Structure 1
Amino acid sequence: MENGLEKASDKNTDLDDILSQIAELDKWREIFDARGLELHNCFERMHVASEMEDYKQLFQSINTLQPSRLGYIELLQEEVKRNQDRPLERFKAEEEPDDVSRSPSAHSFHSNANSLMVPYSIPRALAVSPTLGGHPVSPELAMSLRKILFGNTMHIFNYEWKKSFFKFREPYSNLSYALEAERGGARAIQMAVQSHVIKYLLFTQPLNSENCGIERLLEVVEKEQEMALAAALADILWTAGEERTATVSLVTPDRCFTPHLDYKLDNFTERNPPPLTSPHYLRLQEDLDFSTTHLLQFGLGNFVCRQALLNLLLTGRASPNVFNGKLSCDEHGNALDRPLHGVLTRSNVGYLYWSREQAEHGSLPAVGSMLKTPRLPVWVCNINGTYSVLFSPNRSLLSDWKMEHLFHLYFYNGQPTQVNTAMLTI
């Protein structure tokens, strides 16, 4: 009994010492900076932080032992609110697709941590009221969406995907038209959107515009960047809807349904109205073939875009292959049990592919003319698995044979190390 009283007395004494030292600091507010580093270091030196699992326990302990110090508690709570939407590296391992095999203790830690801080929560400013219209996503449609993306309902977007977004380079710079690209699986999507951004900036201006060439890309202001990105995304959605309809998902603050046991929660799909309707889902299934049943493939610790998803962004159809039309026979002339689906129509933006490994083994797939010769001279390039964009400001390059004798192409690879657009003379 005496030992228990002594321990309680020691804890109260330690807490009094902590609060006394904090009160004596001239610049105590600096302890609570944007990331809480000073607070963490101060408490770590006093051997208190090691006794707390997280900030929540710290709040509860201080509030229980010293209710008169509410000013510090409120300040700490404000700090947690500011950091609520900040992704943490320590959650990365827990978000990998194979985390379904984690131990109960790991799941318990994950749930306790999420009760205080959600590492990948949707910013409140982007959430809209469900009263704006639309239809809430149903469990059946959410499961269909998950299956068409991952092939099952238990995979979710991992850390690399959740931290990806669209961000332009500095306005009025040499690369003011360019999006910064990640090295992860989302890079293919970012470069596909980049190709539509370039198409918008180069080929949607009036023909009598003063700057119709590459100079047009060197004077993009922030407002034009926003317009170009919005136009690029709208163009992709409109083309995917066969130029008749486009569906936009608006994130709501509340979940639209309660997940089943065979559905893994991702805290995003459950707050979305349906991004694709039943007719869109059926058409996606028709576009795919037996060689490709879903749009993302897991490999080397990350999800990567399959050709079907890239073709969907470029042509509006989720064709799994790069050749023209449908293929009913194999390379030896033998009839296939089921045909392979290729690209059916020519699009505004094209696609080029090359792989050193496949070229050395004689298995390099031939890109069909539908993708190689688009309506406009803009191509997404996949070179050894790295995506980039190749383009020309000359609209007539693919329609006037006289232009083929000597022309310039411009290249952007999305890497932060590239500071100028590379020019190739052909």
Structure 2
Amino acid sequence: MDEELGDQNHHFSEHDLDAITNKISDLGKWREIFSQQGLQFKDTVVKKYPDCRKVEDDSEDGAGTPQSSSIKSHSHFTTFSVPYCVPKAFVVSSNLGSLPITLETAVALRKALFGTAFQVFNYEWKKSHFKFRDPYSDLAYALEAERGGIRSVQMAVQAYILKYLLFTRNSDLESQNIKCLLGVSLKEQENALAAALSDILWTAGEGVKSFVCLVTADCYFAPTIDYKMDSYTERFKGEGSHAVILFLYSLLLSRTLERLYNDMDCTTPHLLQVSLGNFVCTQALINLMLTGRASPNVFNGDQQYDNQGVLLKEPKHGVLARSDVGYLYWNRHELDHENLPQVVSMLKTPKLPIWLCNINDTFSVLFNTNRLLLSDWRMEHLFDLYFYSGQSSQTKTVTLTIDTHSHHWEDGMREKEEDPEKRFPSVEMTIRTKWEGAAIDWNGTVPFF
């Protein structure tokens, strides 16, 4: 390569060299523009992370020729943060020095997610990213949520954003006011997202280390017959930032693949499944985001026996400890409500009053601003819960007043034999899985969801 350049040097005129110099001087201006558009990582916290390099190639089907065979492999101190919104693909320099992805790791990641190295994400997943509503608005704290399985990831991150805004940035306060979420600025949105993602990854890494996957322009391995190339693990070209996929990769590597498979059991061999033509998160992946452990069930501890008392060939893994963020579940489409998955107290009663809600296979969040709500039984007589559905049609936070001492709603239910789900919104039925028999006031909002 150097020889070839030496032969061509005499062809450059002084005018050509001046033009090249001018273009180089313009790089600073474009760097500033990219930074203003959210295309550059901003400095926040420094930790020792081995980065996981991604790969790119030039072909449309992902089976192109590698651009580089150069590999650097070592841990280094890198400044990590996440922009509040990354509307386009972000590619970092390959000169940072980090741990590049290998073919073996790429195959393992694909199998952990899909069960096969030949399955790839669809267009909706590839373009998915994290983006807030307008700053200083009524929903300045809220992420824009997409449909399908992507929403479960975005709303899990949303729950941790609420943890940061309500209970981390002002940790000395026992109780906040909902108004503290209305004045969230652009910079606070950025800090909240960085804190939320870091929190989830650090928990998965058991407080020891975590991985952050970034995209580079370099290719570190060639395609093989055992691995289907795609446009996000090896290359990032076209619309979207692939931020949700990068987050999932970071999550799996932070947990480590060895611990990941120890967490799971025979009931859930991989973390994503196909539903209605899209990929949705299994309970194992949801639990991994909430608790740091990919247990595939919602009962307490490990289950050694089946419902008949027969010893299982392999134990089923459940939830081992309370997490900061909880989980509630309701599905009106399951006709036999007696057989709904019984979410255990460790998930229903988290350390903080924030719940990721799976309501009719659609994810949302419920939260309260008083950290003592779940530690003082007197607080649970009459209190407010705030509801964000993630739907673009929602323009303000819904306030629900919960009265756990009034049971007048049950009187009306007894008068008719019909299913209460037909007369009560699913949100209310979800709340009653935690506070049985509670009366719920929507405070003037027309009930929905």
Query: 8 Å contact 2:302–2:318 — kept in the other structure?
Result: yes
Tell me, in whole angstroms, the C-alpha distance in 2 between the residues paired with 1:382 and 1:418. Answer: 18
In structure 2, the residue matched to 1:282 is: 258
Alignment deviations for residues 154-184 of structure 1 (CA, whole Å, 9 cap, x no partner): 1111011112111101111100000010112
Query: Structure 1 residues 125, 338: closer, same or farther in 2, change over 3 A?
Result: closer
Which among 392, 416, 420 is matched to residue 368 of structure 2?
Answer: 392
Pick which of 163-172 and 329-338 moved more.
Answer: 329-338
Tell me, in whole angstroms, the C-alpha distance in 1 between the residues paired with 2:322 and 2:174. Answer: 30
Q: Which has the higher helix share?
A: 1
Tell me, in whole angstroms, the C-alpha distance in 2 between the residues paired with 1:406 and 1:279. Answer: 39
Q: The residue matched to 2:159 in structure 1 has which SS?
A: helix
Provide the alpha-carbon RMSD of the alignment.
2.6
Alignment deviations for residues 360-385 of structure 1 (CA, whole Å, 9 cap, x no partner): 35320110111110000000000110
Q: Which has the higher contact order (CA 8 A, sep 6+)?
A: 2
Q: The residue matched to 1:398 in structure 2 has which SS?
A: coil
Q: Does 1:380 align with 2:356?
A: yes
Query: Structure 1 residues 359, 374: closer, same or farther in 2, change over 3 A?
Result: farther
Q: Which has the higher strand share?
A: 2
In structure 1, the residue matched to 2:276 is: 300
Identity %: 59
Q: Does 1:252 align with 2:216?
A: yes
Query: 8 Å contact 2:205–2:254 — kept in the other structure?
Result: no
Query: 8 Å contact 1:412–1:422 — kept in the other structure?
Result: yes
Tell me, in whole angstroms, the C-alpha distance in 2 between the residues paired with 1:173 and 1:211. Answer: 22
Which among 220, 225, 232 is matched to residue 184 of structure 2?
Answer: 220
Normalized against structure 1, the TM-score is what?
A: 0.69
Amino acid at match of 2:144: E
Which of these two proteins has the greater Rg computed from alpha carbons?
1
In structure 2, the residue matched to 1:312 is: 288
Which among 87, 90, 115 is matched to residue 151 of structure 1?
Answer: 115
User: How many aligned residue pairs are there?
Assistant: 311
Q: Does 1:334 align with 2:310?
A: yes
Amino acid at match of 1:419: T
Alignment deviations for residues 268-327 of structure 1 (CA, whole Å, 9 cap, x no partner): 223699845598110000000000011000121110000111111110000101111011
In structure 2, the residue matched to 1:343 is: 319
Tell me, in whole angstroms, the C-alpha distance in 2 between the residues paired with 1:346 and 1:367. Answer: 12
In structure 2, the residue matched to 1:132 is: 96
Query: Structure 1 residues 228, 278: closer, same or farther in 2, change over 3 A?
Result: closer
Query: Structure 1 residues 373, 277: closer, same or farther in 2, change over 3 A?
Result: closer
Consecutive aligned runs of 4 or more in structure 1 exceeding 4 Å deviation: 109-112, 122-125, 207-211, 271-279
In the TM superposition, residue 128 of structure 1 has moved relative to its aligned partner by 1.4
1:136-215 alignment runs, 5 A limit: 136-206=100-170, 212-215=176-179
Pick which of 300-309 and 352-361 moved more.
Answer: 352-361
In structure 2, the residue matched to 1:59 is: none
Tell me, in whole angstroms, the C-alpha distance in 2 between the residues paired with 1:317 and 1:184. Answer: 23
Tell me, in whole angstroms, the C-alpha distance in 1 between the residues paired with 2:105 and 2:227. Answer: 12
Query: Structure 1 residues 374, 279: closer, same or farther in 2, change over 3 A?
Result: closer
In the TM superposition, residue 132 of structure 1 has moved relative to its aligned partner by 1.0
In structure 2, the residue matched to 1:358 is: 334
In the TM superposition, residue 350 of structure 1 has moved relative to its aligned partner by 0.4
Segments of 5+ residues of structure 1 without an aligned counterpart are 1-108, 116-121
In structure 2, the residue matched to 1:61 is: none
Amino acid at match of 1:295: L
Query: 8 Å contact 2:298–2:344 — kept in the other structure?
Result: yes
Query: Structure 1 residues 205, 330: closer, same or farther in 2, change over 3 A?
Result: same
Normalized against structure 2, the TM-score is what?
A: 0.65
Amino acid at match of 1:240: A
Amino acid at match of 1:388: S
Tell me, in whole angstroms, the C-alpha distance in 2 between the residues paired with 1:289 and 1:309. Answer: 13
Query: Structure 1 residues 195, 356: closer, same or farther in 2, change over 3 A?
Result: same
Tell me, in whole angstroms, the C-alpha distance in 1 between the residues paired with 2:89 and 2:341. Answer: 45
In structure 1, the residue matched to 2:436 is: none
In the TM superposition, residue 135 of structure 1 has moved relative to its aligned partner by 1.5
